[in-house]
Amino acid sequence: MAKVVYNGKVIKEQSVLTQRTKGEKIFFAIVFAVFLIQSISLFFPLIWVVLNSFKSFAEYRGGNTFSFPKVWEFANYLKAFEQLEYGAGDRVIPFAEMIFNTLYYVVVCDTISAFTPLVTGYVFAKYRFKGKTLIFSLAIFSMMIPTVGTTASMIKILNFLQLYDTPLYVWVTAAGGFGATFLVFSSYYKNVSWSYAEAAMIDGAGHYTIFFKIMLPQGLPLFWTYIIIGAIAGWNEYYSILLYLPNYPTIAAGLFNYKDKAYRKSGLPIFFAGLVYSMIPSIILFSCFSDKILVSLSIGGLKG
């Protein structure tokens, strides 16, 4: 235990835990045990997939799936690039092309879907205009409609606009400025003092200058936070890809489509190797930026 010197006397420093009552210690011990069990439950599937990705199919089917591999099949990770494919017949998309599609989808969709809510959130937070309350109400109402209920209408609209199963689909659909992210940015800019803008107006700055040089930089920490969160979500997206971009599958969509084929072709360990490939970027992003995500969500403007 660390020691503190006060007025020439050595005082034993007490931790927060030793200052709690016996009942509080028991309560926090139970909470710690619950979170420990939850953490183990989250790590266990990851470890299980990694171990089985190094096994042969015969060992996976005939042995204990919870044991370490008897022979480590590192070649499974090379075979994943060769055998993991999407489609059949004349239209077969290899794993390398799925990686490119995923990067395209993540970069384009993530950037646009984070920037447009930032702009609309700023406008709704700092400006008054006719129809503002109506538009805001419609935005909230649209968020309450289940996604499944709009799928048929969405496909019909995309076909009419000739955007279905084209790369332009990502650009257009990501440009919606509303949603949960819009609400966060709107609340954020409401707490940013308008004193910044007033000071700039005295010097002759216009609305665009105020936004791009004053307000936008203040929202960048939150913007980059949603870029990181969106990148993780976009990397694992497969539902909308299978529905609206069937000929441009991402890694997640390709693996989802390949899983049934893996059972038939005795390629489950190779399928697990593909899962490990798909998990690595998300794990790295979250591990590197988890603190930034939590800190950025609590950033505000001027106080008092």
Check: CB of residue 213 under 8 Å from CB of residue 196.
no
In a domain, residue 227? The reply is: yes
Burial, 98: exposed, middle or buried (Cβ in 10 Å; 0-12, 13-18, 19+)? buried
Residue 301 has pLDDT above 70, yes or no: no
CATH code, domain with 168: 1.10.3720.10
Q: Which tens digits make up the pLDDT trace of 90-137?
A: 678 888 899 999 999 999 999 999 999 999 999 999 998 998 999 999
In a domain, residue 66? The reply is: no
Quickly state the pLDDT bin for 8 (edges 50, 70, 90): low
Residue 300 has pLDDT above 50, yes or no: no
Residue 139 has pLDDT above 60, yes or no: yes
In a domain, residue 141? The reply is: yes
Question: Residue 249: which of 89, 77, 109, 87 has the closest Cα?
Answer: 87
pLDDT computed for residue 113 by the predictor? 92
Question: Residue 234: which of 140, 111, 148, 138 has the closest Cα?
Answer: 111
In a domain, residue 113? The reply is: yes
Residue 18 has pLDDT above 90, yes or no: no
In a domain, residue 118? The reply is: yes
Tell me the pLDDT of the chain averaged across its residues. 84
CA dihedral 15, 20, 22, 27 (to 10 degrees): -100
In a domain, residue 58? The reply is: no
Mean pLDDT within 280-297: 78
Give the structural domain span for 274.
84-296
More confident call, 13 vs 136: 136
Quickly state the pLDDT bin for 164 (edges 50, 70, 90): very high
Tell whether pTM > 0.85: no
pLDDT computed for residue 65 by the predictor? 83
In a domain, residue 33? The reply is: no
Residue 40 has pLDDT above 60, yes or no: yes
User: For the chain, how many structural domains are there in total?
Assistant: 1
Helix or strand run (H / E) with residue 95? helix 95-126
More confident call, 2 vs 277: 277
pLDDT computed for residue 63 by the predictor? 78
Quickly state the pLDDT bin for 298 (edges 50, 70, 90): low
In a domain, residue 183? The reply is: yes
pLDDT computed for residue 6 by the predictor? 55
